[in-house]
Each structure stands twice: as structure tokens, then as C-alpha cells.
A = this chain, B = another copy of it.
């Protein structure tokens, strides 16, 4: 299907959707028949990316070809060369490079940058790898033996009605990619994909053990070029209209850079602690976060648990939210009767799926399933105020329309629109709580009233810098670097409001109001408002005592001078700092402070999590 046609459909959808708004029930005035016809058309698209001969697949978006300065008639070799050149150029130690040194483990996490082969000078043939390693590390050999890589002919022999038959086309596609790159003789077929192909070089017959490499994305992408291009296109399709995030962020394809360019990460002296962040931020560096070596099972990669190692926990608990939603319980109760060998596009038909998965919703875009998981991203990783303020921008509206298409696989478009609008409104309410509280925190910091702020708050290790409730509060606490107020607010803006959002996004009731979400945010607000009152009352009492001491004469003054430092902070408070929390209404100026964390986060360019 020609690109212009999809564009027209999206525009039509946008028009439809902007008519819906958030009116009271029964005043919708929407032409449902028009919407209906739109959806019917939209789903005609689900036939998806036909690998048109001699052109780049239509699952590779225009934005990427433009960025690479390639036409859609480019050869696989041209596409691969262009992609891998950019890939290597953008995978570096980053702007904070001077602040940290890799530890040995890093060579396995970012092999392109750090891998060194074992110092074993031994000439080996292609056949010797598996036979020798069967006794050394039999587990990985056994896994490979179960993989498609070891059994290409078994795939080729599948009958056409086998749910895995689509893999035959993939083999053909891979062979075409290799032909184009001159890595497989024209007309020749792949026999198998063995250790040597990935660790020595595609088609290698022999080599020296000390020349082994650990595959990065380009090694997988040489064969799986379409998937490589789709995944890499996350850099190109995520261009935030109001610069809420840097281009391509947050996405899998830049997640390693997001990691190393985070000041907090670079500042951590305990590199084993920093390594934990890196463990997940390695989709940019390799492919086996989802496609576990050496079985590379597609069945595994299609199941929600494949996302779980990274997408769980304090601020990106998508996995838990999904599992406790009705969507997730459907998976847990009925998933064993679904055929996981069906590819994503076939799951609801050949696969017999009666519920959604992470992959089924997030890999889909306008009826097509690709490795670009961020084409419908709207709220991203955190609900920034400058996202909340711009949801009417067509960029956001188009993406909402795309989501309605996704949900409409199983729900009525009206239901989907109604839910997504409620979700948006809910997220805005959470964001509002955070911004209200940010003002209280900032005022305490500006008034220098945080515990120990003037006497016991040492500078953070470079390149990290102080700010009230900054991201660093989760990782540094020497002396009073992190106070209760800092920590509480860091959890509020970086964790709790994120979980609140993700609860709404994944339709898990307990996830956004009660067990987590709103209730957590209210607790944060309560703690910070209480600290605001307490710290100001404390300052005032000290002031009163100081005044009394002043009256008590010179001898008293002398004895208390040395330990009266904390009171000096009152000088900066002006007339009456008491109950500033109660007078916030006079502050005015709207969200002057609101974008702070956002900007910080943005500056850090953090995270490669797939949002929404």
C-alpha cells in the first residue's frame, strides 16, 4: 500500500477524532458511521509490509530513509551500510566519558565498545565450535541446537498451513540480504547459522579463537536487516513537537546513550551499582535482551515476560500493571491455549488469541507490526507538564488516533476513545499534584530550610549537581545530601507519578488509585506539606530563642555563638517565612518551576523504555 494512502487515512482519522473531545454523555454528536468506515479502512492495512521486490520494505518508515538520505529503491547493502555506519557513530562513551571507567563486566554489555576476546590462541574450524563447547558449556550448545538457526531445512520443510510457515519467507529475505552484501553466493542457500557466523564472520569456515567477537546489533542486522532497520527507525520517528525529549528519546534504540549520558549514572563511584542500570540499557548495544541467546526463540520474545526484566519496578512497572489488568489475567488464564508460534500479525486469527500482549499492542502501528515500538508514544516515560499542555497538538492527536486503531482490534472505537480520554485527564491530574508539590519543595530549598542544608549538605560527585529532590536523591546520601523532602519528592516525580500513569495506561485499577498511583502521590504530598510546616515552625522557634538570647546579655551570646549557625539561614527568609506552604496561592507565575525535572531529565536524555 502506497505511503500516501496511509497518510490520507491518518489524516481522516485525525479529523474524526478531534470531533469527539470529552463531552458529557449523549452530546457526542459524532458521526459514528463515518468513524466506522474509517476503522474498516484502517484494518485493510493489516495485511502489512509486503517485501516489495527491489525496494526497501514499507515497514521501514520514510523518516528513516530521509535521515539516511536513501531512496526506497536502495539495495539491502546500501541500507545496511548506511544504518551500521550511523549505528557505530552514535554508540560512544558519551559526553561524561571522563567521569567513569568501564569495569570488566562492561565488555559483555557494550561489546562494540569494550569487548576483548579471551586470550586463547587456537585455530578452529567452523565444526569444532559446537563439538568442543558441548563439553565445556553444553547449555549454550543445547540452546542453539533447539534454535531455528540450527535447523533451517526444518523450517523450509514446513507445510504452507503451518503457523510458522512465514519463517520460510524470512529465510529467503535473509538470503537476499546476504546476496546483496556479497556474503552469500548468488543463488546459494544458507545451510545453517552456526557459532562462526556470528562470532567470527558470516560464512566463516575457520578462524582463531582470539579473534572472536561478541555480536552487536549490526551483526544480527546483517541478516535480519528489515528488523534492524525497523528498530533503528525509533531514532527517526520520535521527534517531539515541543522538544519534550531529545529526538529519538525515550526509545530502545538510544538506550545505552541515555544511560551513559545521565549525570547520576556517570557520578556513581560504585560502578557495580551503575552496572545494574546498564544491564537493561543495552537494547542499543545488542539484540539479546529480548531474543535470549542461543535459542533466539520467537515464542519467548512474544510473551509478556520477555519484557519483564526491564519493564518492572518502581517507576516503569508496565509488567506488573499488565499482569494484574484484565488483559494480563486473560493471558495468564488462557494463554496456554494460544499458539505462540503465530507471528504477531496472525495471533488473533491463526493463533487463536483472545487477549492482548505487550507485543501485540506496542509493536503495532496502523495495522502493521514492526520492531519500532515508539510510533504511538505520546506520554513517553514520564508525564511532563509540557506534554500535558500540548495534547491538542496534531502530533499527539494523530498518535491517539493510532492507539484507538490498536484498541479497536477488540474494543469499539468509542470505548477506546472514551478510555484514552479518561486516561489523559487522569494523568493530567497526577501531574498537577506533582507540580503543586514541586513549588513547596523548591521554596524550602530556596529558603535553605531543608535539614542540614546550610551546614551538612556536601557537593555531589561530578558531573552530578545539586537541586531539590533531584534524581540523585535515589542514589546518594552522604551526610544530608538527600533529606526526607528531597527523597520524597524524587520518588514522587520520578517513580510514583510514572506508576500512576502506567496504571492508567495499562488499565490496572489498583495501579493508579489505591495500591499505587494516586495514593502514593497523596502520601508524598502529605509528607512534604508536613515538612513544610515543621521546618518553618522549627526555624521560627529557633529565631525566638535567638531573640531571647540576645536579650539575655553578652555572656549568654558568647557561649552560644559557635553553635548558632543554623539560625543564620533565617537572614535570607525576609520578614516571615512561616507557613509559606499556606501562602503558595500568592506565588503566581504558573508553572515557572514546573519544567525543572523535565528539563533535567531531558538534559540527561534518559531512558530507553518503551512508554505507553
Contacts and interface: CB of A to CB of B under 8 A. Distances in A.
Contact of A314 (B313, B410, B415, B519): B519
Contacts of A270: 426, 429, 518
Contacts of A349: 138, 142
Contacts of A434: none
Interface in A32-59: 32-33, 36, 39-40, 43
A544 B519 contact: no
Contacts of A368: none
A333 B475 contact: no
A410 B25 CA distance: 52
A107 to B, nearest CB: 6
Given A332-B303, A418-B108, A527-B484, A314 B514 contact: yes
A548 B548 contact: yes
Interface stretch (A178-186, A218-226, A241-249, A551-559): A551-559
A280 B312 contact: no
Contacts of A273: 426, 429, 512-513, 518
A534 B451 contact: yes
18 contacts: A43-B138, A137-B412, A138-B409, A140-B411, A273-B426, A280-B510, A297-B333, A300-B330, A313-B516, A314-B519, A452-B533, A474-B514, A479-B581, A484-B527, A484-B530, A487-B523, A541-B542, A551-B556
Contact of A43 (B136, B142, B299, B425): B136
A591 to B, nearest CB: 18
Interface stretch (A10-18, A117-125, A441-449): A117-125
Q: Identify whether the interface residues of A are mostly helix, strand, loop, or mixed.
A: helix
Contacts of A548: 545, 548-549, 552, 556
Contact of A354 (B105, B146, B421, B537): B146
A523 B477 contact: yes
B482 A522 contact: yes
Given A108-B415, A409-B139, A425 B544 contact: no
4 A-B pairs with the lowest CB-CB distances in the bound complex, closest first: A139-B410, A313-B515, A272-B426, A276-B513
A487 B526 contact: yes
Given A146-B352, A514-B276, A551-B556, A118 B530 contact: no
B333 A336 contact: no
Interface stretch (A63-71, A72-80, A150-158, A321-329): A321-329
Contact of A410 (B140, B474, B512, B523): B140
A334 interface: yes
A563 B578 contact: yes
Given A36-B120, A139-B409, A474-B523, 7 more contacts: A25-B116, A139-B354, A143-B354, A452-B530, A456-B582, A481-B526, A482-B522
Residue from A422, A510, A533 whose CB has the most chain B CB atoms within 10 Å:
A510
B275 A135 contact: no
A576 interface: yes
Nearest to A20: B104
Given A309-B324, A474-B522, A523-B477, A40 B300 contact: no
Interface string A495-517: 00000000110011110111111
A310 interface: yes
Contacts of A423: 272
A28 interface: yes
Given A452-B533, A522-B474, A40 B581 contact: no
A603 to B, nearest CB: 20
A300 B483 contact: no
Contact of A326 (B292, B326, B415, B562): B292
B473 A429 contact: no
A451 to B, nearest CB: 5
A143 to B, nearest CB: 5
Nearest to A484: B530
A22 interface: yes
Interface string A95-122: 0000001111111100000101011101
Interface in A294-313: 295, 297, 299-300, 303, 305-306, 308-310, 312-313
Contacts of A517: 276
A118 B415 CA distance: 10
Interface string A334-345: 101100000000
Contact of A504 (B36, B103, B272): B272
